[in-house]
Structure 1
Amino acid sequence: MWRGFLLAGLLGLAGCAEPVSYPRQVEFSELPGWTGDRLEAALPAFRASCAVLARLPPDRVMGGEGETARKAGDFARACAAAADLPADGAAARRFFESHFLAYAVGEDVLTGYYEPELRGSSTRTGPFQTPLHARPPELVEVDLGSFAQDLRGRRTAGVVRDGRLQPYPDRAAIAGGALAGRGLELAWVDDPADAFFLQIQGSGRVRLTDGRVLRLGYAAQNGHPYYAIGRALVENGALTRETVSMQAIRAWLAAAPAAEATALMNRNPSYVFFRPLPDLPPEAGPLGALGAPLTPGRSLAVDRTRTPLGAPVWVAAQAPLRRLVVAQDTGGAIRGSARADLFTGWGDAAGAEAGGMRDRAALFVLLPR
């Protein structure tokens, strides 16, 4: 799932450089707050990951590097043991401590993200003038790491013309109608800022005028780099580094003349395309990069070049945010061993929680023995 990730993504905050090349194995007793969490609450998220891992070839690389690198088949024994585990705290603790080894991977910024809900229409009418687009068929995504080891984890996208990969239209061009008339519109929403933030989150719900709810998931990105519009507002004095937040940026966009708001959003050339998820039940979270539905408060976005998807992760931020989560997602602003983003759920309350989340946190990755 693509995201700029709220505070860090909107402001352009970078994680601290980590000089440690390799993680350090630790005892579970060294995990801050380990005995204080309801570990059984993380089991549904872990089982959801296991359901995806079971469908993958055992040799499929899930991510990580060096000691932390794992393949799908490495989780098989732990997944089998978790299948019939009772929802009991002591049993969950014995399970995780006996089937996993804990590795300290460092300390970095922990932010939050959520699944927004927008108002929309299946046709362009009345206030519903901003389109949400499906992936254009000509868009080509490239894993640059397949061509150069030093580009591992980096991707781009574009369109092939005359045998060469050329840049795809940027946000300003698309907003100006570069894709108009091609039938790529999945829905039309009533607020350009809502559409902008939906692209940052990478998934969402659109409540249509006929009462239906359209679930959308990340499909692709246009290949242009992400630019943090919060940084621009700080640089021009409209906001300060201390007051910038998703809510503050939204308020600025709502109060600004439409042309100024559009110009600010267009400074971010990145544009995200979506796909409908008609089989996703309303009580389930959006699909993360792993392909499993995300669980509020228990799903984490990580840098998969450092942390394998599917792995449990102990997050030790300021109390009470010390809990066991599962690496099930990725994001454009998530770079580094300990940089992470916590999924808070969906709706206004989840958005408020995610918008204000920015803590230093130590991360400990649990890897199958």
Structure 2
Amino acid sequence: MTEPSSAQTEVTYQILDFGDLDGWAEDKHDEALQTFLNTCNDLDDPDWRALCGVAADAGNARQFFELFFRPVLISDGKDPLFTGYFEPELDGSPVPTPRYRHPIYKMPPEARDIRPWLTRREILTSGAMDGRGLEIAWVDDPVELFFLQVQGSGRVRFPDGRHIRVGYGGFNGHSYRSIGQELVRRGTYQPHQVSAQVIKNWVRRNPVDGQELLFHNNSYVFFREVSEVPADKGPLGAMNRSITTMRSIAVDPAFTPLGAPVWVEKDGKKPMRRLMIAQDTGSAIKGAQRADIFIGTGDKAGRIAGTLKDPGRMIVFMPIQRAYALLPESVQ
């Protein structure tokens, strides 16, 4: 596990009992074990590799976790926060048509070498991308395409029912600028009113000003096709494996090892108590008590994810020897 930087608040570790985990006995431990098995073979550390071998033959999932792990509450002084993310699904076409005319682009070679490269406005209006065969697909909604770039991955549904999946392929080197914060700065909305759906509706109601609002964000994300992932599986996470709806979370790997089980106690309007697996990361996911829950694919998942912003706590399951090694010598 990467050590936190000296600039961060002092990190504390507390080993808990499984009886301290609210709702632990009621969870579906088999689901969590299957999600753990999706990525545990990719873990290089000997402690984790040994547990992966045992997990493959575990007859009782709950007993497996209780026998070989200890729950560790890791705190860095920041308030816990759970948010949600999802995989967008856009309507598109493998060829341009009058309806499908907004391209999903692969990254041009020169954009990797020149930093920063062209801005969003320049990419979309200068003709720099024309005639180069960089289009992966064309979609019907530029607003959904913008938010696909925010999420970094998604699926495109073709008229014949086929799907392709696209993943993050790089960006133009410009810093991300929030269009939600820009609407607040202009006085269009109050901070508590802003959500992805509110922004989408405003842009569609105001097509000219809406396009200018999207240009406010100079950052532009390019994609790559990742259709080797079956349509019935989740998108690829940071471990280059499919993530699982409501069992995978994005974490800060400076505190939580990728591949580790994490007990989630999310409060708020819809409390959640379940074991999830840390299989993804995100640029906004920073801190020991910060997690982004993968809600699933499509519009319904997007609506749920967009409203999730709740307190609670997360407890990382560590192999027994590693858990006790984290404690100060005075309490070991």
TM-score bucket (shorter structure)? 0.7 to 0.9
CA distance in 2, matches of 1:130, 1:289: 27
Match of 1:121 among 68, 93, 100: 93
**Deviations 1:262-302 (Å, cap 9, x if unpaired)?**
11112122221111122211110000011110100000011
Post-superposition, which runs of at least 4 consecutive aligned residues in structure 1 deviate over 4 A? none
CA distance in 2, matches of 1:271, 1:74: 40
Unaligned runs of at least 5 residues, structure 2:
1-6, 321-332
Does the aligned pair in 2 maintain the 1:52–1:292 contact within 8 Å?
Answer: no
1:29 maps to a residue whose letter is G
Q: Does 1:268 align with 2:217?
A: yes
CA distance in 1, matches of 2:47, 2:123: 43
Unaligned runs of at least 5 residues, structure 1:
1-16, 59-70, 141-158, 161-165
Q: Does 1:108 align with 2:57?
A: no
Does the aligned pair in 1 maintain the 2:259–2:277 contact within 8 Å?
Answer: yes
Does the aligned pair in 2 maintain the 1:52–1:291 contact within 8 Å?
Answer: no
Shift of 1:34: 2.4
Structure 1 equivalent of residue 138 of structure 2 = 188
CA distance in 2, matches of 1:368, 1:137: 43
Match of 1:356 among 304, 307, 326: 307
CA distance in 1, matches of 2:90, 2:31: 29
Q: Does 1:82 align with 2:55?
A: yes
Structure 2 equivalent of residue 99 of structure 1 = 68
Secondary structure of the residue that 2:97 maps to in structure 1?
A: coil
Describe how 1:274-285 pairs up with structure 2 within 5 A.
Answer: 274-285=223-234
Match of 2:274 among 311, 318, 323: 323
Secondary structure of the residue that 2:61 maps to in structure 1?
A: helix
TM-score by length of 2: 0.87
Structure 2 equivalent of residue 250 of structure 1 = 200
Does the aligned pair in 1 maintain the 2:11–2:74 contact within 8 Å?
Answer: no
CA distance in 2, matches of 1:303, 1:337: 7
CA distance in 2, matches of 1:329, 1:277: 16
Secondary structure of the residue that 1:23 maps to in structure 2?
A: strand
Secondary structure of the residue that 1:138 maps to in structure 2?
A: helix
Structure 2 equivalent of residue 299 of structure 1 = 248
Are the structure 2 counterparts of residues 95 and 283 from structure 1 closer, same or farther at C-alpha, using a change threshold of 3 Å? same
CA distance in 2, matches of 1:20, 1:41: 34
1:274 maps to a residue whose letter is F
CA distance in 2, matches of 1:138, 1:312: 40
1:205 maps to a residue whose letter is R
Secondary structure of the residue that 1:242 maps to in structure 2?
A: helix
1:79 maps to a residue whose letter is C
Structure 2 equivalent of residue 40 of structure 1 = 30
CA distance in 1, matches of 2:8, 2:193: 27
1:307 maps to a residue whose letter is T
CA distance in 1, matches of 2:224, 2:256: 26
Structure 2 equivalent of residue 206 of structure 1 = 156
Does the aligned pair in 1 maintain the 2:249–2:277 contact within 8 Å?
Answer: yes
CA distance in 2, matches of 1:34, 1:288: 26
Secondary structure of the residue that 1:186 maps to in structure 2?
A: strand
Structure 1 equivalent of residue 3 of structure 2 = none
- Bigger mean CA offset, 289-298 vs 235-244: 235-244
Once the two structures are aligned, what percentage of the paired residues are identical?
Answer: 45
The structure with the larger Rg is 2
Describe how 1:213-224 pairs up with structure 2 within 5 A.
Answer: 213-224=163-174
Secondary structure of the residue that 2:212 maps to in structure 1?
A: helix
Shift of 1:83: 0.8
CA distance in 1, matches of 2:290, 2:241: 21
**Deviations 1:175-198 (Å, cap 9, x if unpaired)?**
223323221110111111110111
Are the structure 2 counterparts of residues 74 and 264 from structure 1 closer, same or farther at C-alpha, using a change threshold of 3 Å? farther
